[in-house]
């Protein structure tokens, strides 16, 4: 069942961005890059490492290196439930 981005952020997921450098299958001396983004859980990063495993098993271009960053979009002190709003004229 797909979840909304807000639900994922409230459950502790953060936006993970990875830049992968890989060698071209036919030209091993040429490096190319690919950028991947998804919501993932730190510090285990199951989605990122799952994608890297998929790459190594299914794709022909061998990985040279992977650089990634992770940022939580909602932190503990930034979310509050507003129950009622008062307007002053």
Please measure the distance between the N-terminal and C-terminal CA atoms of the chain and give it in whole angstroms: 45
Confidence class of residue 2 from pLDDT cuts 50, 70 and 90?
Answer: low
According to DSSP, the residues that pair with 37 across neighbouring strands are 17
State what percent of residues in the chain have pLDDT above 90: 65
User: Does a cis peptide bond (omega within 30 degrees of 0) precede residue 43?
Assistant: yes
Q: Is the pTM of this model over 0.85?
A: no
Q: pLDDT tens, 46-76? A: 999 999 999 999 999 999 999 999 998 876 6
């Amino acid at each position: 069942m797909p979840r909304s981005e807000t639900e994922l952020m409230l459950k502790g997921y953060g936006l993970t961005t990875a830049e992968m450098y890989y060698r071209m299958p036919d030209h091993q001396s040429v490096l190319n890059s690919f950028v991947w983004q998804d919501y993932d859980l730190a510090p285990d990063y199951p989605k990122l490492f799952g994608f890297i495993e998929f790459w190594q098993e299914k794709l022909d271009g061998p990985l040279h290196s992977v650089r990634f960053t992770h940022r939580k979009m909602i932190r503990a002190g930034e979310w509050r439930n507003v129950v009622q709003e008062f307007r002053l004229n």
